[in-house]
A and B are shown apart, each in its own frame.
Chain A
Amino acid sequence: MPIVPIVVYRFLVIGITTLAVAMPLSLVIYQSFLTAPFFDHSAKASFAAYSFVFADDDFWQAFWTTITIAGGMAAIAVPLGALLAFLMVRTDVPGKRYLEPLLLIPIFVSAVVIAFGYVVAVGPVGIFSTMAKDLLGFVPWNLYSLFSLIVIAGLTHVPHVYLYSAAALRGLSTDLEEAARVSGANPFQVAINVSLPMILPAILFAGVLVFFLGFELFGLPLVLGDPQDVLVLSTYLYKLTNKLGVPSYQLMAVVVVVIIAVTAPLVFMQRLLLRQAQRYVSVRGKGLKTQPLRLHGWRWFAFAAITLWLIITVVVPLFGITLRSFVVSWGEGVKLLDVLTLDHYRELLDYPNVIRGIVNTFGIGVIGGAIAVACYTAIALAVHRWNSGWTRLVDYIVMVPRAMPGLIAGLALLWVFLFVPFLSPLRSTMVSIWLAYTIVWLAYGMRLVSGTLLQVGPELEEAARVSGASDLRVKRDVTLPLIKYGMLASWLLIFLIFVREYSTGIYLLGPGTEVIGSLLVSLWGTGAIDLVSALSVVNVVMIGAGLAVAIRLGVRLHG
């Protein structure tokens, strides 16, 4: 085997990553300084787009609303997610085995599906609202308020924080916690004073990511913000298009640039926090299985709290959307038994693009997800244990696409596929969708993989190096096998994310590139709500089945 110097590998990986991120990004920035679409001959360089956007009241309103929502949802999701992780990983909460897969449902259900489910279930004339009205004489909640939007966004993002925190907790040996227990601390003191500080880097990662996700929230405000005109930056893009009558790339580009300007300092902050991470390395060359903490009387209270959260974020909306898929209409004065039907599902079969969409979605999740994880791992390994300015650069680069709303990233990639000659034949194939997804979820996937890498103690690698292995060989024979579980978990997570993704594929949607997510948005726009509800249920069932198969095959979410 020829020995490839690690430097070649590193710069090859960095080069490809930079290109993949920089092409769409530089197009967006370039576009923001023009007066017309970049391919239009009448386009001139100008700041006009910036002046227009900054002079627009709606922009500022959307901007502050977005900050409020992103901050609010992080404030809800981070503590709850970390607490949930502690309960699930470290304590003897009953029914863990069964709860575990359920906890992740909010991640893999498309936000549009959840939002619409809420409208049917707890909207002004929803099933539960009408019940509440019968009992109390009024409906005690208002689904369309900003407050509800924040709460729903926060609760549905708890699993993101949970996954990061749980992964970190599982990687930690429990001897420190045991020591605290032996010294007489109760479970809550253990959680706050011992476990929490050790997984803080993971939690902060998750917090920043949730804040990012808040910035690109699209499905929830699209459906729930519509009636009250609650605008966030991503839905403001829609409104912006209409202000001038003609879709204006330059204005959309400006908004994206603004979003990146806000998120870039956050990345810097996160980077500073991460420098501390090495302190918490705790997977050593030894391991010890230990007893979970006993909660005693609090066991069932914790169980009830988790169940309540699941009911609010999963059962209620999924019940709503499932019900909608089996009825012709619903609401005030409708007897549901009179309107039951299976027609919406029969209709699905009539449409070849819907069938192709279902097949493609599964393919992009399983095959595309696996290739994406391989790419993420390649990048993470390239900078792993490399103290250099390049590492910092890669950290920034992988964060950048996350700051672009999926919708815009999809559009930017469409431009790339249109105007880069050797890529254009791939435009109407699933390759374009795969590349878009992989880039959009780059930060997320990288954090999954590098989070796992952080848990690998340096001495194992050093041992191999001392025995004479080359750098690449160390990565292949020591590091990779050690993070196998982490990679499997990442694959499953990326599968779920890819299958539920709905905004990135919209501009790439065409014959051959249909995926359920973008079909849902497209069908929602045309008002085919019967199909939307049936297709949503198919999507949910498909992922549920995929998850069940994965578990059966022995792929567990965590090691």
Chain B
Amino acid sequence: MRQVLSATVFAAALAFCAGAQAQVPAGYPADYSKIVDAAKKEGKVVIYSTTDAVSANPLVKDFEALYPSVKVEYSDLNSTELYNRFIAESASNNGTGDLIWSSAMDLQVKLVADGLALTYASPEIKALPKWAVWKDAAYGTTYEPIAFVYNKRLVPEADVPKDHTALMKLLESKPELYKGKITAYDPERSGVGYLFCNEDIKNFPAAWDLFKAMGKAQVKLYTSAGAMMERVTSGEHTIAYGIFGSYALSRSKKDPNLGIVLPSDFTMITSRVAFISKSAKNPNAAKLFLDYLLSKRGQEIVANKADLYTLRSDVEGEATLTQVTKLIGDKARPVPIDQTLLENLDQTKRLAFLSKWQKAKKGE
């Protein structure tokens, strides 16, 4: 009888623990349950994001499975619209996105620097690389290598450039074959393009020579990776310079003709930056989603369902930090999330760069 009783007590205690665990994820402080309860009361989280709904859908579904009483309202916008809308809504105090998640790293850092973000130290911080957290407000959420992408049908194996120097040499040695066939982001029309060029200049001493070589090869410039890949797979162009590895990976799964190269001299790594809005109506639900996004469970999906590349070293799969390291060793160059990104937004610097770029584009 006593044994039965103690067994019952034990089972009850176990059940209680299990229940408590469902409330607070393992390793989180005990008072995290307060955030969970408050989030449940808020009932929803509004996310403004540049990640298309297609890729984010598995994350949203899994989050809602984990916290059934918190619904996700997900809007995908381009980075300029997101920025415009967020600053206007913040100023009006009429409610805006609770979690802002964008691939425009410099604009995100500016918003945090301008004081529009909530300071919140996520319990996941210790599992993240140092460069990915800034001021306990801005969080890198992905580890996306910037790749060369090429058309396997039309670019012979021997021509496939393995690094930046090889690409430059290819364009110089076979101008007739690659004239008008190379494509890249336009730094004049796209913030991403500008960021990429500037990181190239930091990491690759011959960057301007490469830009000139591209100019001579009549590089075709676009403002969206989708447009570039579409035209590379169709053969209108054959090589795309500087494409998010995440998009390329998704696309190559559907179309095996798309080849991906992580340049072996250095591979720039970008990260989608998330922060909680200071004027969030549902700050607790936003915390819950941010922590989920950074957690092992969330990053498993980031890596294996969304193809966005995880920045956690404890997640296995193709789109992971571990896999990128396996391919290029110590040549990964993550763009640090900090005030140096604000230099990108400096008007004088920008205009100076753009006028130099316009010359390079003409091959001068």
Which A residues are within 8 Å of any B CB, using their own CB? 37, 39-40, 120, 123-125, 223, 226-227, 229, 238-239, 241-247, 249, 328-334, 339, 347, 350-351, 353-354, 411, 414-415, 418-419, 424, 427, 506-507, 509-511, 522-531
- B223: chain A residues within 8 A (beta carbon): 226, 238, 525
B74 engages A332 (CB within 8 Å): no
The answer to whether A527 touches B190, judged by C-beta atoms less than 8 angstroms apart, is no
Task: Give bound CA distance, A245 to B77, whole Å.
Answer: 18
Q: Which of B51, B110, B153 meets A332, CB within 8 Å?
A: B153
Contact with A along B60-96 (1 / 0, CB 8 A): 0000000000000111111011011101110110100
A245 touching B88, Cβ below 8 Å: no
- In the assembled complex, B221 has its CB within 8 A of some CB on chain A: yes
Do residues A411 and B84 form an inter-chain contact, with CB atoms below 8 A? yes
B235 touches A226 (CB 8 A): no
In the complex, B33 has a CB within 8 A of chain A: no
When the two chains form their complex, are residues A353 and B81 in contact, meaning their CB atoms are under 8 A apart?
Answer: no
Given contacts A245-B344, A334-B153, A347-B54, 17 further A-B pairs with CB under 8 A are: A40-B87, A40-B91, A238-B223, A239-B188, A243-B350, A245-B347, A246-B110, A330-B233, A330-B234, A333-B235, A351-B54, A351-B57, A427-B94, A511-B46, A511-B74, A526-B52, A528-B52
Known: A331-B233, A507-B84, A527-B224. A245 touches B54 (CB 8 A): no
Question: Which of B76, B80, B110 has a CB less than 8 Å from the CB of A241?
Answer: B80
Asked if B350 and A226 make an inter-chain contact with CB atoms under 8 angstroms apart, the answer reads no
**Residue in A333, A506, A510 whose CB lies within 8 Å of B153:** A333
Q: Write the chain B residue with the least CB distance to A226.
A: B222
Distance between B215 CB and nearest chain A CB, rounded to angstroms: 12
Instruction: Please give the distance in Å from B360's CB to the nearest CB on chain A.
Output: 14
| A332 contacts across to B, CB distance below 8 A | 153-154, 234-236
Chain B positions within 8 Å of A354 at CB level: 53
B residues less than 8 Å from A529 (CB atoms): 226-227, 230
Using Cβ atoms and an 8 Å threshold, which residues of chain A touch B345?
Answer: 244-246
CA distance A121 to B254 in the complex (A): 21
Chain B residues contacting A331 (CB-CB under 8 Å) are 233-236
Q: Check B80–A247 contact: CB distance below 8 A.
A: yes
Residue of B nearest to A508 (CB): B85
User: How far, in whole Å, are A347 and B189 apart by their CA atoms in the complex?
Assistant: 31
Name the A residues within 8 Å of B78 (CB-CB). Answer: 522, 525-526
Contact A526 B224 (CB under 8 A): yes
| CB of B283 closer than 8 Å to a CB of A | no
Question: How far apart are the CA atoms of A418 and B86 in the complex, in Å?
Answer: 11
For residue B46, which residues in chain A have a CB less than 8 angstroms away from its CB? 511
Q: Does B300 contact A (CB under 8 A)?
A: no
Q: Which residues of A contact B346 (CB under 8 A)?
A: 245
Looking at the assembled complex, report how far the CB atom of B142 sits from the nearest CB atom of chain A, in whole angstroms: 15
Bound together, the chains give a CA A226 to CA B237 distance in angstroms of 14
Q: How many Å lie between the Cα of A414 and that of B52 in the bound state?
A: 22
In whole angstroms, how far apart are the Cα atoms of A223 and B231 in the complex?
12
For residue B354, CB closer than 8 A to chain A, the reply is yes
Q: How far is the CA of A530 from the CA of B229 in the complex (A)?
A: 12
Query: Which B residues are in CB contact (< 8 Å) with A411?
Result: 84
Task: In the A-B complex, list the 7 residue pairs whose CB atoms are closest, starting with the nearest.
Answer: A527-B226, A331-B234, A332-B235, A245-B345, A526-B52, A39-B91, A418-B92
B191 within 8 A of partner (CB): yes
Q: How far is the CA of A244 from the CA of B354 in the complex (A)?
A: 10
- Please list 19 pairs of residues, one from A and one from B, whose beta carbons are closer than 8 Å in the complex, sorted by A's number: A39-B88, A123-B236, A125-B235, A226-B221, A226-B222, A227-B231, A243-B350, A245-B106, A245-B347, A246-B110, A330-B233, A332-B235, A350-B54, A353-B75, A411-B84, A418-B89, A507-B85, A527-B247, A530-B254
- B225 CB–A CB distance under 8 Å: yes
Given known contacts A242-B190, A418-B94, A37 and B53 CB-to-CB distance under 8 angstroms: no
**Which B residues are within 8 Å of any A CB, using their own CB?**
46, 50-54, 57, 73-78, 80-81, 83-85, 87-89, 91-92, 94, 106-107, 110, 153-154, 186, 188-191, 194, 220-227, 229-231, 233-236, 247, 254-255, 257, 344-347, 350-351, 354
Which B residues lie within 8 Å of A226 (CB)?
Answer: 221-223, 227
B270 to chain A minimum Cβ distance, whole angstroms, is: 15
Q: In the docked arrangement, what's the CA distance between A225 and B254, Å?
A: 28
Give the complex CA separation of A347 and B225 in angstroms. 20
Rounded to whole Å, the gap between the CB of A38 and the closest CB of chain B is 9
Known contacts A227-B222, A527-B226; is-contact A242 B76 (Cβ 8 Å): no
Q: Given A226-B227, A524-B226, decide whether A245 and B191 contact each other with a Cβ distance below 8 A.
A: yes
- Closest A residue to B221 by beta carbon equals A229
Query: How many cross-chain pairs have Cβ atoms below 8 Å apart between A and B?
Result: 158
A245, A333, A424, A524: the one within 8 Å of B350 (CB) = A245
- Structural contact, A353 and B53, CB atoms closer than 8 A: yes
Q: Are A242 and B189 in contact (CB under 8 A)?
A: yes
B54 touches A531 (CB 8 A): yes
| CA of A295 to CA of B211, assembled, Å | 61
| A249–B76 CA distance with the chains assembled, in angstroms | 21
Residues from chain B with a CB closer than 8 A to the CB of A424 are 92, 94
* Assembly CA distance A419 to B345 (angstroms): 28
In the assembled complex, how far is the CB of residue B175 from the closest CB belonging to chain A, in whole angstroms? 18
CA distance A246 to B87 in the complex (A): 11
**What residues on A are CB-neighbors of B91 within 8 Å?**
37, 39-40, 418
Cβ contacts under 8 Å, B85 to chain A: 414, 507
**How far does the alpha carbon of A246 sit from the alpha carbon of B73 in the complex, in Å?**
26
Give chain B nearest CB distance to A515 CB in angstroms.
13
CB distance from B323 to the nearest CB of A (A): 22
Alpha-carbon gap, A524 to B224, bound state (A) = 8
Contacts of A415 in B (CB 8 A): 88
B77 & A509 in contact (Cβ 8 Å cutoff) = yes
Contact across chains for B57 and A350 when beta carbons are under 8 A apart: yes
State A331–B222 Cα separation when bound (angstroms).
Answer: 19
CA distance A414 to B188 in the complex (A): 27
Residues of B within 8 A of A223 (CB): 227
Asked whether, in the complex, the Cβ of B236 is within 8 Å of the Cβ of A125, the reply is yes
Closest Cβ of chain B to A263, distance in Å, is 24
A172 CB to nearest B CB, Å: 47
Using A227-B222, A424-B92 as known contacts, say yes or no to A242 and B75 having CB atoms under 8 A apart: no
- With a CB–CB cut-off of 8 A, which chain B residues contact A414? 85, 88
Q: Which residue of B lies closest to A344 (CB)?
A: B254
Q: Which residue of A lies closest to B97 (CB)?
A: A510
Interface centre among B46, B51, B194, B233 (most CB of A within 10 A): B233
Instruction: Given A238-B189, A527-B224, A527-B226, answer yes or no on A511-B80 (Cβ-Cβ < 8 Å).
Output: no
Instruction: Report whether A510 and B191 are in contact in the complex, using a CB–CB cutoff of 8 Å.
Output: no
B88 and A37 contact, CB distance less than 8 A: yes
Shortest Cβ distance from B345 into A: residue: A245
A328, B255: Cβ atoms closer than 8 Å: yes
Residues of B within 8 A of A37 (CB): 87-88, 91
